[in-house]
Amino acid sequence: MSTLIEQVKADGLPRHVALIMDGNGRWAKVRGLPRTAGHEAGAQTVETIVRHVARNLSIPYLTLYAFSTENWRRPRPEVRFVLTLIEDYVTKKLSEFVHEGIRLRFLGKRSQLPRTLKRIVERSELATQTGTRLALSVALNYGGREELAMACKAIACLVRERAVNPEKVNASMLSSFLYSAGLPDPDLVIRTGGEKRLSNFLLWQAAYSELYFTDVLWPDFRPADLHEAISEYQQRERSFGA
């Protein structure tokens, strides 16, 4: 592990890593367990990875895809379990986040969230707002297409009210209306579980991100797997279309 840590501390470390945490259900299925067991195991992996990034890697931004706008289509008991799991995790870890200097931020539409979870989201953002070690963003009820539509509507309203000249609308302005406003675009997007797609995650922000796909299911994802992804990222040459 120490060799890997030294390896990823070389030049070219990504500033912002985003994770699509896929494979909880399949992890449980191959073990003959209910899907809820996979989500619980996945939550343990979140704890491991967040703690490792905060304590051992000089990566200031980490974003986790926790619950998408499409996930509401899953069976109601599973949706309720996942949202309760997120609620319990944030509540349990909040004091540690404050102590560790981890700043929490939630990306997504909050109006649909259960009232208790919404309060916890707001409280945790307020409690951790001075954290400087790691900016941890959690995509919760997040959808990239909906995010873009929301930003376009907001800009359209300003244009209609003549508060903005339509000739002045540009990429920078649109970015300022996204859930992720103020965050740097992810340098590296990692997806676990073997699928090779973004699944409506950070569609605008990931325009020039390096993508890394692994067959490792999220509950089995370890710091060594993260190091492997970062190591490959460091070997790529980023041209940004030039």
Report the candidate in 70, 82, 61 with the shortest Cα–Cα distance to residue 19: 61
Amino acid type, 3 = T
Structure tokens at 112: 């649909």
Element housing 159 (H / E): helix 144-160
Which of 51-55, 125-129, 234-238 has the least mean pLDDT? Answer: 234-238
CA dihedral (136, 138, 143, 148) in degrees, to 10, reads: -30
Do the Cβ atoms of 29 and 45 come closer than 8 Å?
no
What is the CATH topology of the domain spanning 2-144+184-231? Undecaprenyl pyrophosphate synthetase (3.40.1180)
Q: Catalytic annotation on 220?
A: no
C-alpha distances out from residue 181 to 32, 116, 184, 196, 204, Å:
42, 25, 8, 26, 12
Structure tokens at 115: 């009232």
Q: Is the pLDDT of residue 33 over 50?
A: yes
Q: Which of 22, 24, 185, 187 is catalytic?
A: 22
Residue 13 buriedness (CB in 10 A; 0-12 / 13-18 / 19+):
middle
Q: Is the pLDDT of residue 232 over 80?
A: yes
Q: Catalytic annotation on 215?
A: no
Amino acid type, 109 = K
pLDDT tens per residue, range 90-118: 999 999 999 999 999 999 999 999 999 99
Sign of the torsion angle spanned by Cα atoms 197, 198, 204, 208: negative
Q: Give the number of residues written for the chain.
A: 242
Amino acid type, 98 = V
Which 8-state DSSP code applies to residue 25? H
- Grade residue 10 by pLDDT with cuts at 50, 70 and 90: low
Q: What is the pLDDT of residue 47?
A: 96
Q: Which of 11, 24, 56, 71 is catalytic?
A: 71
* Residue 190 to residue 192: CA distance in whole angstroms: 7
Q: Is the pLDDT of residue 34 over 80?
A: yes
pLDDT tens per residue, range 50-63: 999 999 998 999 99
* Residue 66 to residue 38: CA distance in whole angstroms: 14
Q: What is the pLDDT of residue 239?
A: 77
Q: What is the pLDDT of residue 1?
A: 45
pLDDT tens per residue, range 155-200: 999 999 999 999 999 999 999 999 999 999 999 999 999 999 999 9
Report the candidate in 13, 1, 12, 60 with the shortest Cα–Cα distance to residue 223: 1
Do the Cβ atoms of 166 and 189 come closer than 8 Å?
no
pTM metric for this prediction: 0.94
